[in-house]
């Protein structure tokens, strides 16, 4: 995830860049199609706009949607960001999905985030490391790989929010990797992993499980920044699952309250009514794609 108002060339910037590069390698792979399904996911939303309508809608939110149909490389404070060209069909599909998720966030929050550009591409490497997405707050931009986890619409939708939370978290106070107040919600003897190292290589790390109370996924235990991003993304995509878990897990409820407050502090308009409502009667319909159900965050971020 992120990073934070870095001063290029400063020692601090170098330290953060190294940390970013390290984390970039720790974001877990999305669950493979062979992973067992996790707890019942909420039914995937079906795209309703045409790609052209989706692009127009995103831009009505004040966000330029940039389709990467020719490879390009951008400079970032962490090194070169190589964006691979996406195939038209994949880009079309993703931009429709993206429009729906940005709509769920709403214009007030997007404006507070000052998110100006979203690139949709066919793959990316940041400083040579493959990623599924990259939040880039200093450039007011997000980059998404339209093919990352494409066998699960739910996973892809949750990725949109997981990554955007990292962007928000960076803009919040610039401290992405430290949040003592949030970390203190955990049991005293709990220690987060090193940014995802423990989950790296585990394609089930992003699947929800109640195996460890207080954590929505194994990946949430990788780092405080990932724990918060997981809570946020599940609140946006599967609030019913979060509500059911939180009702029995006080620590998780406290994390939910913390994340909700953090977002509201950033955008007062994002109050209780702005969050997607739990849908207790939602049918756990299968994903359009044959894979595991739910999702996870994905990718990258530093
Ligand atoms: Zn993350």
* Whole-model pTM over 0.85: no
Task: Spell out the residues 6+ positions from residue 281 whose beta carbon is closer than 8 angstroms to its own.
Answer: none
What pLDDT is stored for residue 49 in this prediction?
Answer: 93
Please tell me the distance between residue 161's alpha carbon and the centre of ligand 1 in angstroms: 10
Please tell me the distance between residue 226's alpha carbon and the centre of ligand 1 in angstroms: 5
Please tell me the distance between residue 66's alpha carbon and the centre of ligand 1 in angstroms: 22
Please tell me the distance between residue 40's alpha carbon and the centre of ligand 1 in angstroms: 22
Residue 244, exposed/middle/buried by CB under 10 A (0-12, 13-18, 19+)? middle
Cross-strand partners of 126? 81, 129
In three-state secondary structure terms, 206 is coil
Residue pLDDT tens, the chain, 302 long: 443 333 334 444 444 444 444 444 446 666 665 554 444 444 555 558 999 999 999 999 999 999 999 999 999 999 999 999 999 999 999 999 999 999 999 999 999 999 999 999 999 999 999 999 999 999 999 999 999 998 889 999 999 999 999 999 888 777 778 899 999 999 999 999 987 544 555 667 888 999 999 999 999 999 999 999 999 999 999 999 999 999 999 999 999 999 999 999 999 999 989 999 876 434 334 343 333 333 333 434 44
CB atoms within 10 A of CB 282: 15
First to last CA, the chain: 3
How far apart are alpha carbons 271 and 113 in whole angstroms?
A: 16
Count CA atoms within 13 Å of residue 182 on its CB side: 27
Please tell me the distance between residue 22's alpha carbon and the centre of ligand 1 in angstroms: 12
Please tell me the distance between residue 180's alpha carbon and the centre of ligand 1 in angstroms: 18
What pLDDT is stored for residue 34 in this prediction?
Answer: 52
Using only the alpha carbons of the chain, give its radius of gyration. Answer: 18
**Domains of the chain, start order:** 11-274 (3.40.390)
What pLDDT is stored for residue 293 in this prediction?
Answer: 34
Please tell me the distance between residue 297's alpha carbon and the centre of ligand 1 in angstroms: 6
Task: Spell out the residues 6+ positions from residue 68 whose beta carbon is closer than 8 angstroms to its own.
Answer: 83, 84, 85, 86, 91, 119, 120, 121, 122
């Amino acid at each position: 995830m992120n990073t934070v108002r870095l001063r290029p060339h400063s020692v601090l910037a170098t330290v953060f860049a190294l940390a970013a590069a390290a984390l970039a390698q720790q974001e877990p792979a999305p669950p493979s199609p062979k992973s067992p399904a996790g707890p019942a996911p909420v039914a995937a939303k079906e795209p309703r706009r045409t790609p052209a309508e989706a692009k127009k809608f995103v831009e009505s939110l004040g966000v330029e949607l940039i389709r990467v149909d020719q490879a390009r490389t951008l400079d970032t404070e962490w090194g070169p960001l190589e964006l691979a060209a996406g195939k038209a069909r994949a880009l079309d599909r993703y931009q429709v999905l993206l429009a729906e998720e940005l709509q769920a966030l709403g214009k007030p929050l997007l404006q507070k985030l000052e998110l100006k550009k979203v690139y949709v591409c066919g793959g990316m490497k940041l400083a040579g490391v493959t990623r599924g997405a990259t939040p880039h707050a200093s450039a007011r931009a997000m980059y998404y790989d339209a093919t990352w986890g494409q066998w699960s619409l739910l996973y892809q939708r949750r990725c949109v929010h997981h990554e955007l939370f990292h962007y928000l978290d960076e803009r919040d106070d610039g401290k992405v990797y430290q949040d003592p107040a949030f970390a203190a919600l955990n049991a005293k003897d709990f220690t987060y992993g090193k940014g995802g190292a423990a989950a790296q290589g585990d394609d089930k790390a992003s699947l929800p499980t109640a195996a460890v109370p207080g954590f929505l996924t194994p990946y949430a235990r990788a780092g405080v920044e990932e724990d918060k991003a997981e809570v946020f993304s599940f609140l946006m995509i599967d609030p019913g699952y979060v509500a059911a878990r939180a009702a029995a897990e006080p620590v998780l409820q406290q994390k939910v309250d913390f994340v909700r407050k953090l977002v509201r502090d950033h955008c007062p308009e994002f109050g209780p009514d702005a969050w997607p409502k739990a849908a207790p009667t939602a049918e756990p319909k299968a994903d359009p794609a044959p894979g595991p159900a739910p999702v996870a965050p994905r990718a990258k971020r530093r």
